[in-house]
Amino acid sequence: MTESIVVEHASKSFTLRYQRTLKQMTVAMAKGRDISDSFLAVNDVSFSVQQGESLGLMGLNGSGKSTLLKLINGIMRPDAGSVRTRGRIAGLIATGAGFHPQLSGRDNIYLNAAVLGMTEAETNRKFDAIVEFADVGKHLDSPVGHYSSGMFARLGFAVAIHVDSDIFLADEVLAVGDRPFKRKCLERMQEIRDSGRTLVYVSHAAGSVRKMCDRLIVLEQGRLGYDGPVGPGIRYLKYDEEPDTPEDEQLDEDLGADI
Ligand SMILES: Nc1ncnc2c1ncn2[C@@H]1O[C@H](COP(=O)(O)OP(=O)(O)OP(=O)(O)O)[C@@H](O)[C@H]1O
Ligand SMILES: [Mg+2]
């Protein structure tokens, strides 16, 4: 088997600033208070993913999931350790990244496709399929700055899935989509998975992770808390609370977490 993503002791730290203005900083320093502090958003994380594996990534808000995806994508470099990937990477790791609000949906498809490494000829060829998937109707020629959040996400996802890649990264892509669109996205991601590409899928929706992934990693304050099969990982994530009470299931249902 070929390794697709290899993360070895990767760490990424950020600086927290407590004081913003020069005056505040001077006063804080005079009083001997800290003006900034650094913390590890990703803390000594190691794992590897085989080509064709589909990996779920879960954890509480702020646990470092998006940061880890950015390290894999190459948008950020780790401060320590290493992250190696094999092949072309595509995906949606921040809704609206690579879009220009004043350009139309049509122009943004070309812009975003170029950012993701597609040539103009390739984009021309796939243009109709992208438009059909995004299904933003008559808004295609309006500036995307006026799009609803769901429409924005549709356009981004539509472009990302049409890039030929070896690794597909998806960060909570389904969060703002409506139910029919979520279903369409999941079907498309299943196709991506079944075609032997590597998938890394970040989501808070346990149901969709169960459906999509054959392995789960849980991050806890930047550290790798769990790496293994999906079912026990989801139970681990609940921190030994009462497993699946009817209220939890209702909440999942209400939030559309089942698909
Ligand atoms: N550019 C940045 N500068 C400073 N701090 C940052 C930066 N990006 C992320 N952080 C911090 O790093 C931590 C991890 O953030 P991250 O976005 O990776 O979390 P997450 O697991 O994706 O959370 P969520 O479930 O809310 O999407 C958070 O405390 C966040 O505030
Ligand atoms: Mg995130």
pLDDT tens per residue across span 186-220: 888 899 999 999 999 999 888 889 989 999 999 99
| SS3 at position 219 | strand
Q: pLDDT value at position 259? A: 41
How confident is the prediction for the chain on average, in pLDDT? 87
**What separation in Å is there between the alpha carbon of 60 and the centre of ligand 2?**
9
Q: Which of 17, 20, 45, 65 to mutate to test the pocket of ligand 1 (most atoms within 8 A of CB)?
A: 65
pLDDT single digits (tens) 144-165: 989 888 888 889 889 989 998 9
Ligand nearest to the CA of 41: 1
67 in contact with ligand 1, CB cutoff 6 A: yes
Amino acid code (one letter) for 14: F
Rounded distance between C-alpha atoms, residue 106 and residue 109, angstroms: 5
Cβ proximity of 18 and 25 under 8 Å:
no
pLDDT single digits (tens) 85-144: 999 998 887 666 678 889 999 999 999 898 888 899 999 999 999 999 998 888 999 999
In this predicted structure, the answer to whether residue 239 has a pLDDT above a threshold of 60 is no
14 in contact with ligand 1, CB cutoff 6 A: yes
Rounded distance between C-alpha atoms, residue 160 and residue 41, angstroms: 26
Cβ atoms within 10 Å of 196's Cβ, excluding its own: 10
**What separation in Å is there between the alpha carbon of 66 and the centre of ligand 1?**
7
66 in contact with ligand 1, CB cutoff 6 A: yes
62 in contact with ligand 1, CB cutoff 6 A: yes
Ligand nearest to the CA of 219: 1
Q: Which residues contact 181 (CB under 8 A, 6 or more apart)?
A: 135, 150, 154, 174
39 in contact with ligand 1, CB cutoff 6 A: no
pTM: 0.85
| CATH number, domain 3-247, options 3.40.1110.10, 3.50.80.10, 3.40.50.300, 3.40.190.10 | 3.40.50.300
Rounded distance between C-alpha atoms, residue 15 and residue 149, angstroms: 30
Ligand 1 atom 17 nearest Cα: 66
**What separation in Å is there between the alpha carbon of 131 and the centre of ligand 1?**
32
Rounded distance between C-alpha atoms, residue 103 and residue 221, angstroms: 38
Q: Which atom of ligand 1 is nearest to the CA of 65?
A: 21
Rounded distance between C-alpha atoms, residue 202 and residue 217, angstroms: 10
Facing residues of 8 across strands? 82
